[in-house]
Structure 1
Amino acid sequence: MLDATMTQQLKQYLGNLREGVELVASLGDDKRSADTRALIEQIAGLHDLVTARFDGADARRPSFEIRRASDPSRSVRFAGLPMGHEFTSLVLALLWAGGHPPKVEAEVLEQIAALDGDYDFEMYFSLSCHNCPDVVQALTLMALYNPRVSATLIEGGAFQAEVEERGVMAVPATFLNGQMFASGKMGVEEILAKLDSGAEARAAAKLSEKAPMDVLVVGGGPAGASAAIYAARKGFSTGIAAERFGGQVMDTMGIENFISVPYTEGPKLAAQLEAHVGEYDIDVMKLVTASRLVPASQPGGYHSVEFSNGAVLKARTLILSTGARWRNLGVPGEETYKTKGVAYCPHCDGPLFKGKRVAVIGGGNSGVEAAIDLAGIVGHVTLIEFDSALRADAVLQAKLRSMPNVTILTSAQTTEITGDGSRVNGLVYQDRTSGVEHRIDLEGVFVQIGLVPNTEWLKDSGIALSKHGEIAIDHKAATSIPGVFAAGDCTTVPYKQIIIAMGEGSKAGLSAFDYLIRTESVEELAVAAE
């Protein structure tokens, strides 16, 4: 199952085991079960502390349990093969079960251990989903560090009948005690916050106790990471406050235009950004969403940022890099059928539509790339573009037109997404040339129509915004408020690209430095007044 390189890597990782690990498999007579047996035997053969059994009685087959030999109540179960993006999750499960300490803060482990109650999680993932590993690894950690937490992690492609029965049409999808718990990406802190009602209040209080900073970056994408590094390198106290580190890069798969790196993937780049930020004395605050900006009353004073959890942070300068998010169609049926056939990530959710008919809305690079990817999985793809011609790069258009199971519709305006109450069953569009409406029978709709900036929280702050809601900045990344700078996809800078966001972030960091050295702080002004 594992090639020579993966085998050697896994063998090295297993060298970190501190105690025994048991693999207990429940198998059938099918090929997937045979592959699972081969994988488990291969893993067990790499280290003396790993043993394998094939007498499991779980109803899902193939599945296997990874458990601590000294305490079998600390275990996690994989149903299907955790390969692809989930191979790292498999490695971590083996290491954590074997006593190797996870790289999380001690207080997080204490919070897991302190959970009072019995929690039975079932989570569905796909092997091509780059958002799923965070949830898989979070639930794995919880199951291995609290014996009252159980986690079964299910590869949807291996259990399609179950997926259809439970109405899972988007991953990651997490059930708790048989009921839907959450749809979408979550880290362990987010899961704990949903289970522990007092967690948010404690986090807000801890955040508000922080001393004012010289530079506070709001947003943790490429622009924010670059801005923070440049500011920290100048010796200023610097913090990053972000809902999630990596921003929209976490939702991006293949990246082929990041100069000097021919190919990388979004989650990998995000991890590298976070590691680089970690090389400096930068206070990284995650899972916080900015809700209001109160500008300083005088030059050199402190700007305040309020967060949705009630916390408040203060800083002499701000760098706003809150990025952008997928734009919604805004038609009837879209909200109703989100995660029930309406999707925004073809890499994550595409495998759930194997052999089915889907539509992709949008004829730019993102839309055409999505259609190309989906055409290799689903039965048929209809690409719908509002304009009279596709806007994607010529090489992508040529690839799309060469695919036999793709239909391209231009001058077509989507007017409604229809369903049967539980899932999508079609789409209505209007021919913009003739005015005639048409209906297409579908089981999925992937929306790829561009981005909208995350700036709603700034509308009453006094910061100038463009008609599209972007933060207006000058050539030095300065906003209309002194001491407040902005960078990345949330600004008026054209061409929303990762490499441009990084450059704009560094510019904003240098501009903040220039502002700080030219502006006396309120403390300095107070001393001078004495």
Structure 2
Amino acid sequence: MLDANLKKQLDTYLQKIVTPIELSVSSNGEPKATELQELAGEIAELSPKISLNEQGTAKRTPSLAIAAEGQEPRVSFAGIPMGHEFTSLVLALLQAGGHPSKAEPEVLEQIRNLPGEYHFETFISLSCQNCPDVVQALNLMATINPNITHQMVDGALFQDEVEEKQIMAVPSVYMNGEHFGQGRMTLNEIVNKLDSGAGERRAAELNEREPYEVLVVGGGPAGASAAIYAARKGIRTGVVAERFGGQVMDTVGIENFISVPYTEGPKLVANLEQHVKDYDVDIVTEQMAASLKQGEYIEIGLESGATLKTRSVILATGARWKEMQVPGELEYRGKGVAYCPHCDGPLFKGKKVAVIGGGNSGIEAAIDLAGIVESVTVLEFGDTLKADQVLQTKARSLKNVEIITNAMTTEVRGDGQKAVGLTYTDRTSGESKQLDAAGIFVQIGLVPNTEWLKNSDVELSRFGEIEIDNRGATNLPGVFAAGDATTVPYKQIIIAMGAGSTAALSAFDHLIRTPSPEERKQEAAVAG
């Protein structure tokens, strides 16, 4: 299961185990169970502090449970935790063995004090880059609170349950047998969802924050770059964001980030976040901006009810996947309609799927899905594909990929519980046609996250993008913007980073040329 290099890396991590742990394997005699037993055996051989019990009695098999020696397991993996979930396995081993978590102490204490019992199950796919965040958060919670349990469930291995629960998007989390949440969630978000008073306490605390000199709204590449450049000027800098990463978290392969031949979205995001934390930046997450007002200070109102004040602001709220805006799309979102082929593709193994959009994202999705599903049909609105020629050539070479141009999707069809197909219009003949598909992956571009600015005085383009000049300045003094939320012509990671640094330098230039509210008051007092 583990090659020599991986064993060497794992051996280094396992040196951090403080107290003995036990691995318990529950087998059903199937090939996957044999693989899991092999994996557990190889791990146990690497450390004298790890013992192996191959007589586990878990309901789901195969499964691997992890616990401190002498304790009942509260963390388990139903399936083989490789791929993106291998890191989740390593962290579970370390935490069960007493290695401390890097989570904030106040969050850990909040977890310990949660009332009641919580039994979580997270259905994942091993190719999902967002799933490990949820798995690792819930594993940690189960490790430090004896009233919490968590099991990762590989949906591809437990297809009957996936069908029964009609799970069509991952991660999909269940608590005490009821659906709890879907999609990427951070540790703080999960804890705050369980702790009903956390939001009010957090809002009250944020209202007491001193005004910033630069406040960055957004935690993607543009926001991270802006925060670093501002902090390096020695000025009071803050970042407010729902979470770090934005669209980059949904990007698997990145091959055009100069000087880095290949990386993956979650890895790049982790590096961005750590780089920001290396500086004296006040980071506020799990918060979404709701309003912008100008007065003595610029005020950023948050959906939680809190307000942050700042002398200047950099808007870097990024963009999200564009929706088709046709009947049935929202009704069947997460029930067949999906936006991340890497995450949700394995749930449609052996089934017919459709991809909407013939640009790079759409054709890349079709190529990836072709190796998993029965067939892929690509629907492109225009008369030609917009993807790079090399991608088109690859897609057309695959026997189970069909490409239809001049196709306008008009409806997502469903049976009341899940999507079963779509209706499209042939733009050449005007004929309405139906296509059967269990999964519909929408890949038609991005829309800027700027709805919250529509009641402000910030000028937006007809596409909702923030209008900026070549210095990243908007029409309002002290208000700058960068990245995919702006009118910058090309939406690329490296361009967003450059735009973030430009906006930060422009904000600094604005600050040194503009008296602060305190300085204006002093000047007024002297003049009076």
TM-score (norm 2): 0.99
Q: CA deviation at 1:500?
A: 0.3
Counterpart CA distance in 1 for 2:73 and 2:126 is: 25
In the alignment, what sits opposite 2:247?
248
CA separation of 1:194 and 1:500: change in aligned 2, threshold 3 A = same
1:101-500 matches, within 5 Å, as 101-296=100-295, 301-500=296-495
CA contact (8 A) 2:118 2:147 kept: yes
> What secondary structure, in the 3-state scheme, does the structure 2 residue paired with 1:449 have?
coil
Q: More deviation in 72-81 or 472-481?
A: 72-81
CA contact (8 A) 1:463 1:481 kept: yes
In the alignment, what sits opposite 1:7?
7
CA contact (8 A) 1:68 1:75 kept: no
In the alignment, what sits opposite 1:67?
67
Counterpart CA distance in 2 for 1:46 and 1:418 is: 52
In the alignment, what sits opposite 1:21?
21
CA contact (8 A) 1:74 1:147 kept: no
CA contact (8 A) 2:65 2:73 kept: no
CA contact (8 A) 2:459 2:475 kept: yes
2:307 aligned partner, one-letter code:
V
Counterpart CA distance in 2 for 1:462 and 1:324 is: 20
> What secondary structure, in the 3-state scheme, does the structure 2 residue paired with 1:220 have?
coil
Q: CA deviation at 1:73?
A: 4.0
Residue-by-residue CA offset, 1:114-143 (whole Å, 9 max, x unaligned): 011011111101110000000000110011
Percent identity between matched residues is 60
Counterpart CA distance in 1 for 2:487 and 2:95 is: 46
CA contact (8 A) 1:75 1:97 kept: no
Residue-by-residue CA offset, 1:240-278 (whole Å, 9 max, x unaligned): 000011111111111111111111100000011111111
RMSD value, Cα:
0.8
In the alignment, what sits opposite 1:39?
39
Residue-by-residue CA offset, 1:210-268 (whole Å, 9 max, x unaligned): 10010000000000000111111111100100001111111111111111111110000
> What secondary structure, in the 3-state scheme, does the structure 2 residue paired with 1:264 have?
coil
1:292 aligned partner, one-letter code:
S
1:258 aligned partner, one-letter code:
F
2:486 aligned partner, one-letter code:
T
Q: CA deviation at 1:56?
A: 1.0
Counterpart CA distance in 2 for 1:104 and 1:214 is: 28
> What secondary structure, in the 3-state scheme, does the structure 2 residue paired with 1:416 have?
strand
1:509-524 matches, within 5 Å, as 509-524=504-519
Residue-by-residue CA offset, 1:183-230 (whole Å, 9 max, x unaligned): 111011111111111011111111111100100000000000001111
Counterpart CA distance in 2 for 1:134 and 1:47 is: 26
Residue-by-residue CA offset, 1:60-85 (whole Å, 9 max, x unaligned): 11001101115x14620100001000
2:67 aligned partner, one-letter code:
R
Q: CA deviation at 1:529?
A: 2.1
Give the paired residue count: 525
Which 5+ residue runs of structure 1 have no aligned equivalent? none
> What secondary structure, in the 3-state scheme, does the structure 2 residue paired with 1:158 have?
coil
Counterpart CA distance in 2 for 1:127 and 1:509 is: 38
Q: More deviation in 439-448 or 201-210?
A: 201-210
Counterpart CA distance in 2 for 1:58 and 1:12 is: 30
Residue-by-residue CA offset, 1:47-68 (whole Å, 9 max, x unaligned): 1111110111112110011011
2:309 aligned partner, one-letter code:
K
CA contact (8 A) 1:295 1:461 kept: no
CA contact (8 A) 1:74 1:97 kept: no
> What secondary structure, in the 3-state scheme, does the structure 1 residue paired with 2:156 have?
helix
TM-score (norm 1): 0.98
CA contact (8 A) 1:17 1:49 kept: yes
Counterpart CA distance in 1 for 2:491 and 2:331 is: 30
Residue-by-residue CA offset, 1:10-61 (whole Å, 9 max, x unaligned): 1110100110111111101111000000000111111111111011111211
